Amino acid sequence: MAALGRFSRALLRSSLTQSRRQLSAAAAAGHGEQAAKTWKILTFVVALPGVAVCMLNMFLKEQNHSHEQPEFVPYPHLRIRTKRFPWGDGTKSLFHNAHVNALPDGYEGHE
C-alpha cells in the first residue's frame, strides 16, 4: 500500500513539474511581445490624452487667473530676516519674483 502511495505521489509530482515547465515556456515565449504591445496601447490611449487634458486644464485656468498683485499685509511672523542672503543685495530670496514675493517692508516699486 505504501508503495502505491509513493508511486502516485511521484506521478503527480512529475506531471505537475511537466505542466509548470510547459506553462512557463509558453508564457516566456510571447510575454515580451505582449507586454510591449500593452504598454504601447496604454501610452496612446491613456497617457497622451491625459497629458492633453492636463494641458487644457492649465490653459483654461490661466485664462481665468487674475494677474493683480496680492495685497501686502505686514504680518510679524512672515519675511523674517535675521541675516542677509549671500547673493544680490541680501534682501531677496534666491528665486525672488518681484510681482508675487514681497520684501519685509512691502512689494518692490510700490511706496
- In one-letter notation, the amino acid at residue 37 is K
- Integer Cα distance of 13 and 23 in angstroms: 15
pLDDT at residue 61, as a whole number: 92
Residue 81 pLDDT: 83
What is the structure's pLDDT at 65? 81
| pLDDT, one tens digit for every residue, the chain (111 residues) | 677 777 777 766 766 566 555 555 555 666 788 999 999 999 999 999 999 999 999 999 988 887 788 788 888 888 888 898 898 888 888 998 888 888 888 888 755
Predicted TM-score of the model (pTM): 0.43
pLDDT in the model for residue 16 = 57
Q: Give CA separation, 40 vs 12, 30, 33, 54, 87, in Å.
A: 41, 16, 11, 20, 48
Q: Where are the domains of the chain?
A: 14-51
pLDDT recorded at residue 38: 93
Which pLDDT does position 99 carry in this prediction?
83
